[in-house]
Structure 1
């Protein structure tokens, strides 16, 4: 009996030892990767590229990392030259703070004018004036070429900044933006795998594998792009020796995405899934979201890529367009109405664009609007979002209790015949200054109606437009940038060197000097300030000082100067903001302290 018990005990011990052995054996690969990850971090391999970094000029402020796109690409991989314009918030949100974060692509970022024309730039000064007693900060995290993957990837870090509201204007880059389904910068083949890729990007082992892959991969395997010196070129450019200048010429891998195709559906699914997860995060964090419909140039931008007219329509289209000029106006209108119905099912974007223009000539705006929209829908080169993107935005706004901002409708209302075109747009989708202001105003009105901030003093649209923080110099720079953009693909199949008009005055000359990189943005602004001062132009002096103060929160002089200007104008809420920044930057004096106390005593209690 004792012998059997001993035998059973040895048997049980043996089983336990085997289990322990198997567990250790199974853990060895895991432990290897754990130690490898720790070792790579200890030797400083790789990076995490956080969204927010400390302002090196003043530790009280932080800013979105300008080169944050580096988080998606290893050092030896071809990468787009996309950066975020520097703008700042306090590291610690004040108790009376009202913090807004803007997300989106190039339109949200204010391309080509910069931050002054952007949603964040225009709202920042307007909300400061509207919310007396609040320390208002409107932060831009938007940048060119990014889509819903980047917005979702930024979300947790944005939530950490405790924003009161997040503003979103996005959707045009789902197909051909970075990580888009038809882009040269696609990480993985599906939405789920791309999100998995993004979840792994901070692990050093993953970054090591990426480097090895891109070190060994052929150009075809690494996204149809290669490095040539410090530049990124496509395979076609490498073969022909002709190098394009614009990002749009490099990004499009899939140049034919037909409506209803598998790639088309994948782009819509990608947007809906990512935005749904994004809005769910903000709802869980109790952050109010304002999400806008998006707009593009329909009236004055021909389709980039069109299918030919279907064979069954060729004879009827030829007969229609050849005979339309030979009949009475009454018959023209009848034939146009019939043709519009007949050709509704055509998938030829060029045909719809031609019908739309004819309808405009005949002053039939309703028919024109229908076919301009169809021309956009069937444009196979998806640099402009189809209407399904706005349908998703409207649906998600309702589903997640976000405030819907209908910027598309606001732009259309202010456009001839209710069709967005060159009156509001610079090219295919970037607004001009008037268009940007309309979008910003739509967000402002939505905030005024929904933020439940008291007191809230509305700033008139006329005053906001008059005080917009964009100089003539920046307008010229934007104009030159658009000329450069439209001189290359897809606006022109063969890239050309644009001919810039001669500057009309010293302001435009400074804008040109900045465009050709003869001077920096800061040099342009400081030179402008001195010239306005010598010309005794106090209005433009104040505008230039405020632009510089906003760009350099750590500069005590500029912030003090604009604080005193606002104080003299009895714009006390704005004055207090800049006095506080000036003091934080080291500007001291009894007069400053007295003015701060006077303003604080006079401002109403915030609720």
Structure 2
């Protein structure tokens, strides 16, 4: 007869007891995670939104100068004198009159109406549209378009204008992100997995709740060293040899694209936090009549490969249109050697356009824009960011790029609606204003009476007739100067430094 085992010495009993703590811990972890998931779902259902950051983790500014100051009488806000080099003078009452509809429009030189000015910007045509819809109301459309202003410079302006009792924000941005020199060194040292996880955590409503309870945590997170920019823009192309400073840098380009999305997200969250409607605009670029601003051969291309590419290029240019098939064959042979040379891609696109292969031409011309070493036109990933953010936060978006494509016979944006690489014609600004007005009607922010169009046309004509001939001559002169600027012909001496770093 076998002796009875003591319970403590029974291997089966010991194994079962060892399993129980593990099962208990696992169940506790699952329960905790389930509670967090339920809390996250409950917060989302209750309408809790992510909070905007109190500071930009990428850059800061050397001073906190405001865009608007009170006039000597203290009755109106006006554009600060030190900002007039970048903004056009604007004014509005400190005490907002009853039944006033106050709109702030933020962006760069397109918002300002360049190469002309505010008088023919879509902001002025929008004000006319609003007046035509409700003549009895006081309509204020305040133009906050800053020359060369990128999205990261618009966030402080939106934050400032929240105190001026806005009824609506409109944001048109994306073309100026590459104008100023800045570094993303701290973020380059972080792995993509870490940055993705950080973004995902920031979007959690639980994180928003904690940020409300512990507001000091954000300032600690934002205390890392970062690029410090001057109060106003120091665009590289404003100075001698500015174009020479642009080189292909895919990592830096990715960082700028990410920063753009971050800034637009910040503006959306700031407006939502204040319960002020915000409308995004998806900008348009000139694809068809704007060669790239700077080109470089693909990295790693040998000298023999460069010589072969140039030979194909020259042979393609020498081919007449009666040899169109041979011309395209040579272009495609050149592209097989280097698929990143923007001028080459543009030439292929223009050839397709001449052959009336419009969808193919649009594809090549878009590639040429994307490979431009000096990107003065919004990049495709930035278009995607605008559409994604509009969908994620249920923000209305006016897709001007798609609208211009639809209104252009060949579907390729060009000089039909644009006077240069990004700036719409006066007719283009009127189209933008009409589309914005229609969006506001859809959002039930404004009515559309039966006589709206006739009222609008009368007001438009009266406004155009009030502008002197010199206004249009100055616009034409400014357009020629802008062309020289974009091609790196500025003669200004650059400052010793346009940026510094927080220690």
TM-score after normalising by structure 1? 0.56
Q: Distance in 1 between matches of 2:139 and 2:71?
A: 19
Is the aligned partner of 1:50 residue 2:44?
no
Give the alignment of 1:398-413 within 5 angstroms.
398-413=391-406
What's the offset of the Cα at 1:273? Answer: 0.9
Check 1:326–1:264 CA distance in 2 against 1; reply closer, same or farther (3 A cut). Answer: closer
Give the alignment of 1:481-500 within 5 angstroms.
481-487=478-484, 489-491=485-487, 493=489
Check 1:49–1:327 CA distance in 2 against 1; reply closer, same or farther (3 A cut). Answer: closer
What's the offset of the Cα at 1:64? Answer: 3.4
What's the offset of the Cα at 1:444? Answer: 2.1
Q: 3-state SS of the aligned residue for 1:67?
A: helix
Residue of structure 2 in register with 1:459 after alignment: 453
What's the offset of the Cα at 1:375? Answer: 0.7
Residue of structure 2 in register with 1:425 after alignment: 418
RMSD: 3.7
Contact 2:440/2:446 (8 A) holds in 1: no
Deviations 1:29-66 (A, max 9, x none): xxxxxxxxxxxxxxxxx97533321233x543212324
Q: Distance in 2 between matches of 1:494 and 1:84?
A: 20
Q: Distance in 2 between matches of 1:308 and 1:479?
A: 34
Contact 1:66/1:85 (8 A) holds in 2: no
Check 1:154–1:190 CA distance in 2 against 1; reply closer, same or farther (3 A cut). Answer: farther
Q: 3-state SS of the aligned residue for 2:111?
A: helix
Greater relative contact order (CA < 8 Å, ≥ 6 in sequence): 2
Counterpart of 1:65 (choices 80, 88, 101) is 80
What's the offset of the Cα at 1:116? Answer: 0.7
Stretches of structure 2 lacking an aligned partner (at least 5 in a row): 1-61, 189-226, 493-503
Give the alignment of 1:84-233 within 5 angstroms.
84-177=87-180, 183=181, 186=182
Deviations 1:58-117 (A, max 9, x none): 54321232424xxxxxxxxxxxx8331111222122231211100001111112211112
Q: Distance in 2 between matches of 1:250 and 1:319?
A: 30
Q: 3-state SS of the aligned residue for 1:436?
A: helix
Contact 1:66/1:83 (8 A) holds in 2: no
- How many residue pairs end up in the alignment? 382
What's the offset of the Cα at 1:351? Answer: 0.9
Stretches of structure 1 lacking an aligned partner (at least 5 in a row): 1-45, 69-80, 178-182, 193-220, 226-231, 235-245, 497-607
Contact 1:176/1:251 (8 A) holds in 2: no
Counterpart of 2:267 (choices 258, 278, 287) is 278
Q: Distance in 2 between matches of 1:268 and 1:150?
A: 15
Check 1:59–1:126 CA distance in 2 against 1; reply closer, same or farther (3 A cut). Answer: farther
Check 1:465–1:135 CA distance in 2 against 1; reply closer, same or farther (3 A cut). Answer: closer
Check 1:324–1:52 CA distance in 2 against 1; reply closer, same or farther (3 A cut). Answer: closer
Give the alignment of 1:311-350 within 5 angstroms.
315=308, 318=311, 322=315, 332=324, 336=328, 343=335, 346-350=339-343
Check 1:188–1:322 CA distance in 2 against 1; reply closer, same or farther (3 A cut). Answer: closer
Counterpart of 2:434 (choices 417, 428, 441) is 441
Contact 1:412/1:420 (8 A) holds in 2: yes
Contact 2:112/2:143 (8 A) holds in 1: yes
Check 1:165–1:347 CA distance in 2 against 1; reply closer, same or farther (3 A cut). Answer: same
Q: 3-state SS of the aligned residue for 1:459?
A: helix
Residue of structure 2 in register with 1:360 after alignment: 353
Is 135-144 or 436-445 further displaced after alignment?
436-445
Residue of structure 2 in register with 1:386 after alignment: 379
Residue of structure 1 in register with 2:247 after alignment: 256
Contact 2:240/2:488 (8 A) holds in 1: no
Q: 3-state SS of the aligned residue for 1:417?
A: coil
